[in-house]
């Protein structure tokens, strides 16, 4: 299996082997069969021999949606087999958990299967691709799945993004959501606040303040832009409280004059980075300050620095 094809979807991996198309209620379309010219194996296995996919990132399955799919399966049958791999004397689900659950709801004992040979890492990648491309996970489920994959296979955000055919910043931004308090993560998982709201809240460092802001977003129904404004106000208020006025001894007698050379370097970096740059030199030491005004600015800056 060529892992470079992951970004093109499951069809590249499973031989144009797609889920049945669904109507607006989530039920299978009885007219939507296998792709023309594709021969699908019709092997069956006892459901009791099929174990869950340990790499399944989806934690929540809509009961009403599963009931609708079960009704469709009862009427039209399982239009396409689930995909499994053999592990010892048993089989492990690779793709098609919704179909398997629908069949279990009906009390059936066997299900059509397609058996493929893949390793653990490929199984994990397929589980991610199936859920990302066919039916969106919530942002926290994605973040947890990404973090688990990165930890288990010791890879980078960039490599994982290429495997899945998505932007590196998408991987990074989602994983950052796991820095939020559990209560705020639950708000994201339950769609009480969006990932955009959560990223804005992340700009505030104090966990208690993050939770307070998240609850305010829910209570007032704030937009992402309003949330960003609120977090800016919160950071400003926090800075005023946490930074006492300098003593007379700490106030410099004069502000060091900035040379034309330093100003020219600041301007050059500003042009290259598209951000305000400050160089604060004092003798041989000093600081370089890079200013960013939004999460998009930060992500772009981070990408440039990593290159």
Pairing of strands 285-290, 277-282: antiparallel
Q: Is the pLDDT assigned to residue 250 strictly greater than 50?
A: yes
Please enumerate in sequence order all residues whose Cβ is within 8 A of that of 96, keeping only pairs 6 or more positions apart, or say none.
19, 80, 81, 82, 83
Tokens 């209570």 identify what position?
219
Contact 176, 185 (CB under 8 A): no
| Reported confidence tier of residue 307, pLDDT bands at 50, 70, 90 | low
Of 76, 61, 60, the C-alpha closest to 27 is 76
Query: What residues does each domain of the chain span?
Result: 3-135, 138-179, 191-240, 260-306
State the DSSP code for 245.
Answer: P
> If you average pLDDT over residues 35-45, what whole number do you get?
51
- In the block, tokens 């279990």 appear at 104
Q: Of these residues, 65, 67, 97, 226, which one is catalytic?
A: 97
Among 34-38, 92-96, 163-167, 277-281, which is the least confidently predicted range?
34-38
CA-based radius of gyration for the chain: 26
- Fold of domain 3-135: 3.90.1530
Ranking 26-35, 53-62, 73-82, 101-110 by mean pLDDT, the lowest is 26-35
Residue 196's φ and ψ, nearest 5 degrees, are -65, -45
The pLDDT tens digits of the residues spanning 9-30 come to 444 444 433 344 344 333 443 3
Total Cβ atoms within 10 A of residue 237: 11
Mean per-residue pLDDT of the chain: 76
Among 20, 22, 63, 62, residue whose Cα is nearest residue 40: 20
How far CA 149 is from CA of 84, 128, 170, 228, in Å, comes to 20, 9, 15, 31
pLDDT digit string, tens, across residues 88-142 = 889 999 888 888 999 999 999 999 998 988 888 888 878 777 767 655 578 898 8
DSSP string, 80-94: SPEEEEEETTEEEEE
Is 306 exposed, middle or buried (CB count within 10 Å of its CB: 0-12, 13-18, 19+)? exposed
* DSSP category for residue 166: S
Name the pTM for this structure.
Answer: 0.53
Q: How far apart are CA 134 and CA 126, in angstroms?
A: 12
> Is 266 a residue of the active site?
no
């Amino acid at each position: 299996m060529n892992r470079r094809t992951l970004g093109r979807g499951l069809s590249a991996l499973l031989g144009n082997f797609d889920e049945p198309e669904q109507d607006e209620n989530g039920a299978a379309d009885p007219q939507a069969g296998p792709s023309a010219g594709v021969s699908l194996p019709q092997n069956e296995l006892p459901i009791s021999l099929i174990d869950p996919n340990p790499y399944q990132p989806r934690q929540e399955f809509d009961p009403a949606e599963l009931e609708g799919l079960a009704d469709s399966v009862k009427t039209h049958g399982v239009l396409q087999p689930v995909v499994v791999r053999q592990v010892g004397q048993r089989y492990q689900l690779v793709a098609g958990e919704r179909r398997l659950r629908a069949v279990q709801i009906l009390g059936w004992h066997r299900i059509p299967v397609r058996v493929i040979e893949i390793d653990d890492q490929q199984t994990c990648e397929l589980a991610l691709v199936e859920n990302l491309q066919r039916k969106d996970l919530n942002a926290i489920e994605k973040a947890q799945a990404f973090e688990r994959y990165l930890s288990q296979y010791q890879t980078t955000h960039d490599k994982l993004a290429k495997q899945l055919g998505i932007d590196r910043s998408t991987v990074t931004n989602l994983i950052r959501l796991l820095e939020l308090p559990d209560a705020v993560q639950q708000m994201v998982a339950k769609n009480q606040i969006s990932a955009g709201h959560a990223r804005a809240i992340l700009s505030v460092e104090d966990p208690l303040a993050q939770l307070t802001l998240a609850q305010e977003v829910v209570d007032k129904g704030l937009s992402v832009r309003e949330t960003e404004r609120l977090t800016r106000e919160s950071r400003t208020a926090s800075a005023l409280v946490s930074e006492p006025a300098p003593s007379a001894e700490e106030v410099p007698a004069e502000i060091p004059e900035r040379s034309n050379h330093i100003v020219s370097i600041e301007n050059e970096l500003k042009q290259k980075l598209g951000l305000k740059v400050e160089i604060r030199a004092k003798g041989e030491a000093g600081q370089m300050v890079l200013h960013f005004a939004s999460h998009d600015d930060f992500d772009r800056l981070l990408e440039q620095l990593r290159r």
